[in-house]
Structure 1
């Protein structure tokens, strides 16, 4: 059974902990800078990077990091949710196009994102945190975009008729595992190749 995260990290409009007020613009910028720096350091140097070192690299004081993210687990979770929100923004942009192949572009980005953030996702799994439980609204919104783009692709005949959004999300999760098993997390070209092999299985069989 999944544990509850140490702190619920809001998906949108971050608020100061313990209040109903939205963060001031400068505090929000600092939080975003910390998230971006943490994501880059975790991907390059692993999860052993300290909160104080993340603060130094982000150009903020240690108190700023500890105030927003009192534990490493809270920061892992926030990084993962921030990445989901970026994917949702990409999905919204793709949805505004008429491209029936847009679902493949979104799924490719999801796989690349998962490969880049494999260490954070592994840490959350080890800590028994489930993003679908910790941030159900964000996870559901992304799945909804996948379903909408999949419907468009199905109508255009560029994906098979018998595939569901749930199955597609399972394939994306499987792609993360496949990329990790192949040791391709730090090799974008190889991880993209693995992802393409998986996505090709969504296309209608050749007649």
Structure 2
């Protein structure tokens, strides 16, 4: 259900009826309504699911030896934000903060970002004055930039904006 919801929200926006999500997921409408009594509950579940996927990706990158892996993860995070901007906007409007409603998942992601950032800093791939708080703020800012540029439906434009932001992490020449 979450995968069907995420795909439909990304492609068709937040106005997708829960019954259509049920149909695409191959379940009855009652099943969706029983698990997600409101559309906001479904938005939240989709966002937490996406965050959990990012945590898995981050853990795999931490296990790898690539000193530039922080850029890979941050690019994925920004792409995910672009793809799911409608859901993120709905959560903001509903005053949901994923750091509050899913603190363990958010903390795990931040911990992995911190480990990857430290590795990149040691390899002189990231400026010394960049903190994990800076990086997380930049990712959040990237979501706003992508939305402002109306680049949610243009992966090339969203990728360009993300690369401009990520370039700011690199050491000055």
The match for 2:79 is 112
Which whole-Å deviations, capped at 9, do the CAs of 1:55-98 have from their partners, x for residues lacking one?
01111111111121111111000000000001011101111111
**Partners in 2 of 1:47 and 1:87 — Cα distance?**
22
Verify: 1:45 aligned to 2:15, yes or no: no
Pick the aligned partner of 1:165 from 127, 132, 135.
Answer: 132
Runs of 4+ in 1 over 4 A off after TM superposition: none
Tell me the TM-score normalized by structure 2: 0.99
Aligned residue number for residue 120 of structure 2? 153
Larger C-alpha radius of gyration, 1 or 2?
Answer: 1
Higher helix share: 2
The question of 1:63 aligning with 2:30 is answered: yes
- 2-structure distance, mates of 1:74, 1:191: 27
**Separation of aligned partners in 2, 1:122 and 1:190:** 19
Q: What is the CA deviation profile of residues 108-139 of structure 1, one whole-angstrom value per residue up to 9, with x for unaligned ones?
A: 00000000000000001001111111111111
Structure 2 partner of 1:97? 64
Supply the distance in 1 between the matched residues of 2:155 and 2:28 (Cα, whole angstroms): 33
Unaligned runs of 5+ in 2: none
- Residues in 2 aligned to 1:189 and 1:86: alpha-carbon distance in whole angstroms: 22
Aligned-partner SS, 2:3? helix
Gaps of 5+ in 1: 1-33
2:171 counterpart of 1:204: yes
Q: 1:136 aligns with which of 99, 103, 115?
A: 103
Pairwise CA RMSD: 0.6
Determine the C-alpha separation between the residues in 2 that align with 1:47 and 1:175: 21
- TM-score w.r.t. length of structure 1: 0.83
What number of residue pairs does the alignment pair up?
173
